[in-house]
Structure 1
Amino acid sequence: MITPAQFAAFGAAGTDAHRMFSDGDGWIERLAEDVLISHKSDAALDAMRDGLAEWTAANGWQPRRIFGKLLPKQNEDRDPPVLLSGDAAMPLTGVVCENGVSYGLDFAAGYSAGLFLDQRMNRAFVRNAAPKRMLNTFAYTCSFSVVAALAGAETVSIDLSKKSLDRGRANFALNGIDPNAGHKFIADDVLEVLPRLARRGEKFDAIVLDPPTFSRGNKGRRWQVGQDLEELVIAAMDLAAPRSRILVSTNCTTIQFADLERIARFALKFHRRPGDLHREAQPPDFPPGHGARTLWISLRG
């Protein structure tokens, strides 16, 4: 479990969304006053609930509610979290903070509540880089767009789901940003939108590519990250301004860092553009092997 000092350090940094525990059978996440336990089995859930109860009793912090979420073997078996303890009459929505930035959650909206905690270091990198124009693909609830906008960027967020983009607009508003002032939200297939943007000559100095492992586009096009990620990176590089940065990210367990590096180097060679590769540090609450594999491409020209 997280140490009391680590718990306090997150609070001091303006972060109340972080992991409290991780192992091979699941993990525990603090989400403001709530806790979400993601588990592979009932036995794992029971063990983590016992561990959480011991930790909270010893450290004087009690969650308002505890939610549970089964980690299924097949994506089609994914279900929203269920309330395990706490007031069932309370709204299933809430707000968390990460480095002082606010994000809305909705435990009833689907398998994911609204913020991927493993991208914390990459969001901080975007905010510190202060891009002028950000392209956020597979944007979900637009967390990368929010931090870019807070740093002064114009943003374009693309996602198949209009509902997710509407939640992204709400995240802008939560942070005092007008979502209609220099920001676009496009509900469409990313691989169809990118060529349109390229034909218009649009350029971005920060691009986020964080696709799902599997999905289907508006026209039934099947996306598989293992087969299609290389095409996505090549298409995105058409939109990259000189000295831009591109984040390539995946949760697919069969794709490792070496695969991301191979894809990135092939895209650089394809476009005949020089660039460097780097990885941000693993979030301190995520053990090695947990969270997304991510890689930054920094173009030199």
Structure 2
Amino acid sequence: MSVFKSEGQWPRESYQLLDFGSGRKLERLGGQLLDRPCPAAEGFQRNGQVDWSKADLRLDRRGKPIGPGPRELPVWEARYQDIEFGLKLTPFGHVGLFPEQHVNWQWLTQQAPLPYSRPLRALNLFGYTGGTTLALAAHGIEVVHVDASSPAVAWARRNAEASQLQERPIRWIVEDARKFVRRELKRGNRYDIVVMDPPSFGHGPSGVRWDMQSHLPALLADCLQLLATETARLLVTGHSEKPDEWDIQSWIDEDLQAMASGLALDLSVGRLGLTDLAGRVLDAGYFVRGIAP
């Protein structure tokens, strides 16, 4: 299994992991220094190279500001290549950017070399603030971006405008991922690339409940049917303990064996990681990748 480090890819002014330990991480995001909870940092000692007291904002386990500093931060920005992200603190302690995903953006675009004989189509489920969508769109790929949260989709659209990508062929859909995929199957639509970053739990429009352990297998099976046989690319990422990357790989293998379409995927699994100033790697979740041979 490979661990992909994120060092050397982000401009220092946009993102740095400075230190982690004792269940927390210290990051510079677009010029703001944040001290946030991080379960993956449990059991580690801090590297001692950084003054944590200089954090602009410190959050508790609920994502709420603590300490004598400010209670909130104004909206600010971070840039990755030609993509600009508007950042803001959410009620859950997120800021609208998961920097470890950049290695997946690189992989996706490397698997779709220019020029194309026809426009490639991608489906991005649980698309959040649009990092993957914009990376694909910047590479000339048509994208359907789906998220059950209307504020998240609006945030992604603002990022597209800030990145000068608002005229690219992107469809913005506010809907439950499972319902949208089932409808696409009925319509006979197909995609070259399917990407998803599902949460462990959640609620969609009208209170539709999502439980990853219960609902992901059926969604994966449907998404495999959406993939074009010769150009298929699949990416699943997550942070869940169960299912983990091996469970997901097993589900995909079982589905492929049962399919009559002839779809085949070479699968690989691995861990994402962020590297601090001392060269230590902080685990940042898993990936499962599939590519038509």
Alignment partner of 1:172 out of 160, 182, 187: 160
Asked if 2 retains the 8 angstrom alpha-carbon contact of 1:19 and 1:29, the reply is: yes
Aligned to 2:212: 225
Write the distance in 2 (CA, Å) between the matches of 1:178 and 1:100. 13
Aligned to 1:285: 275
Cα offset for 1:280?
6.0
SS in 1 for 2:207: coil
Aligned to 1:25: 23
Alignment partner of 1:66 out of 56, 60, 63: 56
2:184 aligned with 1:194 = no
Alignment partner of 1:236 out of 201, 215, 223: 223
Alignment partner of 1:79 out of 63, 73, 78: 63
- AA aligned opposite 2:218: E
Distance 1:227 1:24, change over 3 A: farther
Aligned to 2:33: 35
Relative CO higher for 1 or 2, CA cutoff 8 Å, sep ≥ 6?
2
TM-score by length of 1: 0.79
Where structure 1 has 5 or more consecutive residues not aligned to the other structure, the ranges are 1-5, 57-62, 72-77
Aligned to 2:124: 136
- AA aligned opposite 1:246: L
Asked if 1 retains the 8 angstrom alpha-carbon contact of 2:21 and 2:46, the reply is: no
Alignment partner of 2:266 out of 263, 276, 282: 276
Aligned to 1:75: none
Aligned to 2:116: none
2:286 aligned with 1:299 = no
SS in 2 for 1:292: strand
Aligned to 1:246: 234
Cα offset for 1:297?
1.4
Cα offset for 1:100?
4.6
Q: How many residues align?
A: 272
Cα offset for 1:51?
5.4
151-160 vs 23-32, which deviates more?
23-32
Distance 1:40 1:170, change over 3 A: closer
Asked if 2 retains the 8 angstrom alpha-carbon contact of 1:160 and 1:218, the reply is: yes
Cα offset for 1:25?
1.3
Asked if 1 retains the 8 angstrom alpha-carbon contact of 2:273 and 2:285, the reply is: no
Asked if 2 retains the 8 angstrom alpha-carbon contact of 1:67 and 1:84, the reply is: no
- AA aligned opposite 1:298: I
Aligned to 1:204: 191
Write the distance in 2 (CA, Å) between the matches of 1:168 and 1:23. 31
| Deviation sequence 1:13-34 (CA, Å, 0-9, x none) | 5772242223351212210211
2:144 aligned with 1:160 = no
Distance 1:198 1:40, change over 3 A: closer
| Deviation sequence 1:100-139 (CA, Å, 0-9, x none) | 5321111156431101122121122123334821111011
Aligned to 1:59: none
Write the distance in 2 (CA, Å) between the matches of 1:153 and 1:83. 45
Write the distance in 2 (CA, Å) between the matches of 1:51 and 1:288. 15
Question: What is the correspondence of 1:99-110 to structure 2 with a 5 Å cutoff?
Answer: 99-108=81-90, 110=92
2:83 aligned with 1:93 = no
Where structure 2 has 5 or more consecutive residues not aligned to the other structure, the ranges are 1-5, 113-118
> Following superposition, which runs of at least 4 residues in structure 1 exceed 4 angstroms of deviation?
47-51, 80-84, 286-289
Please report the RMSD computed on the Cα atoms of aligned residues, expressed in angstroms: 3.1
Structure holding more helix per residue: 1
Asked if 1 retains the 8 angstrom alpha-carbon contact of 2:275 and 2:281, the reply is: no
Asked if 2 retains the 8 angstrom alpha-carbon contact of 1:198 and 1:239, the reply is: yes
Q: Sequence identity, in percent?
A: 20
Cα offset for 1:195?
1.0
